[in-house]
Every structure is written in C-alpha cells, then in structure tokens.
Amino acid sequence: MKVLGINGSARKDGNTAISMEKVFGDLNKEGIETETIQFSSKIIEPCKACLICGGKVVNKMKKKICIMLSFLLLIIMAGCGSKETEKGTQSTLPKTDGQRKQAINDEQEGSGTENQELSEAGSEAEQEFTMETKTLVVYFSATGTTKPLAEYAADILNADLYEIVPEIPYTEEDLAYYTDGRADQEQSDSSARPAISGNVENMGRYDTIVLGYPIWHGQAPRIISTFLESYDFSGKTIIPFCTSHSSGIGSSADNLHDLCSDSTEWKEGKRFEAAASKEEIEEWLKSM
C-alpha cells in the first residue's frame, strides 16, 4: 500500500508540513510507502481559451482548492492521530518530566496556530464565494429580434441572462416608424427614460456586462439609457452589440458612455443581422 499526502498549505515549511512529516514518519516505520506533494509549488496557468474572465476564475479556484485540501489534510491527520491513540503507540525513548511538559506545550502551540490559519482560510473562502463575480448578458428586444442572439451569448459564456422589460409594453403602433408614435417621440427626446419593470438582483456580483439592443432611428432605444442610469457600473466592463436590418452600431454605443462612470470600460460593439448564427456570436466573443 502507498499513501499519497497533498500539502495544501501556502507555507512550504509550516505547521502542516511538519505535521505531515510526523504522520508519514510513523507510517514509514510500519513499512508503508508514502509520497508527498507540495501543492503551493505547482504552477497552474490560467485557461488559454477563456473568453471574458481573463483567468480570474481559474486563479480563484486554485486558491479555493488549496483551502479545501488543507481541510482534507486536517481530517486525515485527525484520523491517524485517533488510530495511534487507540493502539497505545508510545515512543520507545523515555522522557523526563521537563521534556514531557515541553512537548505538550509545543503541541498545543502548534495546534492553536494551525487551527487559527484554517479558520482564517475558511472565512476568506466563504467571503470569496459570496463575492465571486460573473458575466451578465442584458438585452432589450421589443420585437424578439435581439433575444435569440442574447441567449446565444449567455449560453456560450455560461452567463446569467436578464431581459429589460418595459413597464408599459410596446405595441406595433408604438414601433411604427415615422408615424410620430411612441418610439418616434422617445428617440426624438434625448431625456426620455421609459420605465423598466423589475431589476437586476445583486448587480455588484457582475464584473462584465454584455449589452444587446436593436437600433431605433440610428440609436439605442431610450430604455437602454434607463437601464444604464439605474446601476453603478464603476470598474465594470460593458460589451455592446446591436441588431439591425441595415444600420450599423454607429455612434449608438458611444452615446451611452456618458451615462456611466469614467471607470467603466467599454469594449468596441458590433452589429448583427436578425438571422445571425450562434457560431457568429461565438466567434465575436472569442475576439474580445
């Protein structure tokens, strides 16, 4: 039988390594072969095929794996310690009273330090889990043209999906061009802010927003302005795309920049036709 030990501690010669060496030393005396892996010495590179995260997810998972392995090692050590106690294993070398007291003090001190480290690591892992950032695909699609493209993007990125739903739905008459209908009036008024029904829960957990919308009179619908002014996008990245039968994305995205803070990073947008395929969306996202 061979026992594999994985040291998940960030410190190469810390209490975890010392404890593992002691446990494995006892196993070797029993004729059991052992092997140790120092996890912190392994080089883990970020995924080369990532689309948006830039390696953040991989780095966070590496840290979490280290923490989980530390907990696992603690459980294994506790089990070995209990087994050794049951067998009544004792050192063959006699110890003086002073040596016994010193050994007890050293063990208590080391155990206390290790427990504190694991407690702090557990708290940090829990905090990281609750604060883990993700990608959100947001779209507005009054006629259903933009919706499938947004769904493609969410599926490709494994992202959450949020639809901007107007509090008062648009009718065919509202959307009829050059009839002085609702859409015409809103697009002629830069201060128009159509109300949105519902909201994004916990926007703070998202660091990347993919924003899709149709082109109305050469610009994004005013309800997109309502959405951007409803949240704080400081430090976030926004990737816009639009759908149109003929008009390009033009200045529609640029005109939205002023609605967010200066620290918001805007990526160059792209225009798609209504019949754009999932492969086209994937190719575009890979280029970002």
Same domain, 245 and 145: yes
Same domain, 158 and 104: no
pLDDT of residue 128: 43
Share the mean pLDDT of the chain.
80
pLDDT digits 0-9 by tens, 63-76: 666 677 766 666 66
Lowest mean pLDDT among 126-130, 166-170, 229-233: 126-130
Same domain, 117 and 230: no
Q: Which amino acid is at 181?
A: G
Six token digits for residue 214: 């149709």
In the predicted structure, residue 240 carries a pLDDT above the cut 70: yes
Same domain, 114 and 196: no
Q: Which CATH number characterizes residue 160's domain?
A: 3.40.50.360
pLDDT of residue 14: 72
pLDDT of residue 214: 96
Same domain, 148 and 31: no
* Distance from C-alpha of 210 to C-alpha of 218, rounded to nearest angstrom: 20
- Those residues whose C-beta lies under 8 Å from the C-beta of residue 9, and which sit 6 or more positions away, are 15, 16, 17, 39, 40, 66, 70, 117
pLDDT of residue 288: 84
pLDDT digits 0-9 by tens, 71-95: 666 666 666 655 555 555 444 455 5
pLDDT digits 0-9 by tens, 267-282: 999 999 989 999 999 9
Six token digits for residue 37: 């892996």
pTM across the whole model: 0.56
Lowest mean pLDDT among 40-49, 124-133, 245-254: 124-133
Same domain, 110 and 220: no
Six token digits for residue 7: 């040291």
Same domain, 32 and 19: yes
Same domain, 61 and 74: yes
Q: Where are the beta strands (DSSP E) in 193-273?
A: 196-197, 206-214, 237-243, 265-266, 270-272
Same domain, 142 and 230: yes
How many folded domains does the chain comprise? 2
Q: Where are the beta strands (DSSP E) in the chain?
A: 2-7, 33-38, 134-139, 160-163, 165-166, 196-197, 206-214, 237-243, 265-266, 270-272
Same domain, 174 and 145: yes
pLDDT band at 199 (very low <50, low <70, confident <90, very high): very high
Strand pairing report for 165-166 and 196-197: antiparallel
* Distance from C-alpha of 258 to C-alpha of 54, rounded to nearest angstrom: 26
pLDDT digits 0-9 by tens, 119-158: 555 555 444 434 455 999 999 999 999 999 999 999 999 9
- Residues spanned by the domain of 208: 135-287
pLDDT of residue 211: 98
Dihedral sign for Cα 44, 48, 51, 52, please: positive
